[in-house]
């Protein structure tokens, strides 16, 4: 899968970027490899659409983004759809959890967590202050000179505080609050529930949960009482059965949307688990 943060951060010659620690802002107008591109990031990122159209597909739904929309994409995986007949330009601002938490701790008025579940893509109110922030960053990109890191930190903090100060960002404020309160074990469960159907490596899941591989395996065993590999296989197969029998998906689509590398590998695992091939399960459900 395409790690969008790592691909940008390691190619400063290709992507003009401004960095402060792990936080990074860039103008992204390079096409992805395919129309449907599996992407993931171990950092949250804010998308500000300046031109064009892209669709973020997630297990919770699809998000069709056009200018001047602005959204917060939680760390994790998604499928990004692009269109060959349209130019596009996005400003991407990658921001780690710990940076958000540090900024929120300085906020005078605390925010409340009002809901348990949060969407993987959360809309940000298109306020004048948010729009002004992104336009205020353009001179730094155009100058060709790297601003002082202390100035960038102030600018990045400005955006988070500006978003957190807007009551119209109700869902995002709730998610911000959850970062301050959520135990590590809940965070790991959220990562797994949100991303099990993507073909991520074990190392990627560990990075998403802000752990080393060994710590991830240890904590996973404590929570689920099984190994990540066994849990992922069972979860993906159950999901594929739902796609085949309840949603009428094709075998290849069910394999892809459940995180399997190939239909043949999926079919072998499915037969071992359910005692019949995927096509047989689908036929049995609809006849």
The CATH class given to the 2-181 domain equals mainly beta
Say if residues 26 and 88 touch (Cβ distance below 8 Å). Answer: no
Q: What share of the chain is helix, strand, coil (3-state, %, to 5)?
A: 45, 20, 35
C-alpha–C-alpha distance, residues 74 and 187, integer Å: 12
In the CATH scheme, what is the code of domain 183-287?
1.10.10.60
Would you list the domain boundaries of the chain? Answer: 2-181, 183-287
Element (H, E) at 2: strand 2-3
CB atoms within 10 A of CB 47: 21
The tens-digit pLDDT sequence of the chain (287 residues) is: 899 999 999 998 888 899 999 999 999 887 777 788 899 999 999 999 999 899 999 988 899 999 989 999 999 999 999 887 777 899 999 999 999 999 999 988 877 766 667 899 999 998 888 989 998 999 988 887 888 999 999 999 999 999 999 999 999 999 998 888 877 767 899 999 999 999 999 999 999 999 999 999 999 999 999 999 999 999 999 999 999 999 989 999 999 999 998 899 999 999 999 999 999 887 776 55
Angle between helices 97-104 and 170-181 (to 10 degrees): 100
């Amino acid at each position: 899968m395409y790690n969008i943060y790592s691909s940008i951060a390691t190619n400063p010659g290709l992507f003009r970027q401004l960095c402060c620690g792990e936080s990074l802002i860039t103008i992204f107008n390079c096409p992805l490899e395919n129309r449907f591109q599996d992407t993931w990031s171990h950092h949250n990122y804010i998308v500000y659409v300046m031109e064009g159209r892209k669709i973020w597909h997630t297990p919770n739904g699809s998000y069709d983004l056009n200018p001047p929309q602005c959204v917060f994409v939680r760390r994790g995986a998604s499928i990004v759809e692009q269109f060959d007949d349209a130019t596009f330009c996005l400003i991407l601002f990658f921001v780690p959890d710990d940076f958000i938490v540090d900024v929120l701790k300085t906020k005078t008025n605390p925010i409340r967590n009002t809901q348990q579940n949060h969407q993987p893509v959360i809309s940000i109110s298109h306020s004048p202050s948010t729009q002004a922030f992104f336009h205020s960053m353009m001179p730094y990109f155009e100058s060709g000179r790297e601003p002082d890191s202390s100035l960038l930190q102030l600018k990045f903090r400005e955006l988070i505080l500006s978003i957190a100060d807007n009551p119209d960002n109700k869902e995002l404020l709730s998610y911000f609050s959850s970062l301050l309160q959520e135990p590590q074990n809940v965070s790991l469960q959220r990562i797994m529930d949100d991303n099990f159907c993507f073909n991520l490596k074990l190392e990627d899941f560990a990075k998403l949960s802000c752990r080393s591989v060994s710590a991830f395996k240890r904590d996973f065993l404590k929570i689920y009482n099984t190994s990540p590999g066994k849990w992922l296989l069972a979860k993906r197969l159950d999901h594929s059965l739902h796609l085949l029998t309840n949603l009428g998906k094709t075998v290849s689509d069910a394999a892809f949307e459940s995180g399997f590398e190939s239909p043949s590998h999926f079919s072998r695992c499915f037969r071992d688990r359910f005692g019949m091939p995927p096509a047989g399960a689908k036929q049995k459900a609809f006849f």
